[in-house]
Structure 1
């Protein structure tokens, strides 16, 4: 009796842990070129994105078909609803390729979290969001130096006009910290945290569904409970698809805003 109870208590759902985001190497273990599951997902997603966009561009027609129309709709969305809306057409043309690359790459990388066989967002570790954020950081500093000069940019941001000079003692370090650390950190943490939490929520609901349907000792009660967990997991999966788009959109919007703020005020 006690042995049976022990087996029943030992049968628990296989819940996701933080170790899911630190997978073992698959290729080139122990070298600087080690490839694990998440890196492999990034490589596959990047190749697929390049192939799809490359084939679409190669077969582009004056009167677009359905697929070309979908791709052009996405590009038009980034151009009109993100870049041009914030920066205007004149300034926006320079940064449209960059913001479009950020949006589509982050969107596809995020979607990997709900694609069967991948089941892990390529942005679910801090490195990839940080790379995107550093790219934005470099771009808005380059823009600022080109438009205002290095000292002109730092002066305008850290020592705004109309502020009593004693306030600069506190304001200047805060503003400089925002330019160098807070902006890229906010971009990184927002994207990374949303993808990690989404993966944990979806994986947890599906783990409970598997447990109640397959591993539960009481099948009569377990199957209905498991189906409820499965439906909940399906709803969260659809919500994750929306979050994948939303986080790519927010990242693109904030990147455009930060670059636009580096220009002199009209």
Structure 2
């Protein structure tokens, strides 16, 4: 995994900006339509995981297609086993370069392909789930949850920033730090954020009350990976998720929901991190464990 351009002089990890940020919206260049768009995702990647969860929760499986990439990246990037049934490409990089021949960044998931325009519309992972929740609302399944209710959007957006900065991206800043100062700064913020969320969830079943929202979807993929990967691989070793009784119970409640459970593949998660990120695991050995019962009540 090549991160040279994403490490600052102080040894801090600075995530690359998203290259494709067009919106799927009514009246725009890319209007929402059933069958027009395809989501490229990985069960291993937390940013892609959230989009898979939302697609399932909202019942959009027949509206927005999906292609799942192989969890092990090589020098060409994400490979599509058997080739993509829609575009015929073997590597996700081919879609990036077809959309922007001069692109030189990492080829990331999730991203969305517009079959009508024959180009990538977006790899803006924070916006992809919001788009599924809003622009594709006419095609939501009956009884699907309102993950981004208008009355709570300001509160959801504010908490999402806290979760991203302190935890979703915070674990990466700890894991990819190349100086002690950068690591100490990042790992302290990770556990400060976990402490804050443990306290918040002590008085409510979900992050914004009794109902599932976008914030819960954004938090879950990091929690699902914490003890299996981030605790050891990213040196986030102060405490485990299982040391937080409220957060651990909350994570298992989410896992019990089919859209969360069916998109959580611990084998692919572990193989991706330990076999792909050779800058911090050059042996590519995938550790055994931890033995956790995600189905325990």
The TM-score normalised by the length of structure 2 is: 0.26
More helix by proportion, 1 or 2?
1
The TM-score normalised by the length of structure 1 is: 0.28
Question: Which structure would you say has the larger RCO, counting Cα contacts within 8 Å and 6 or more residues apart?
Answer: 1
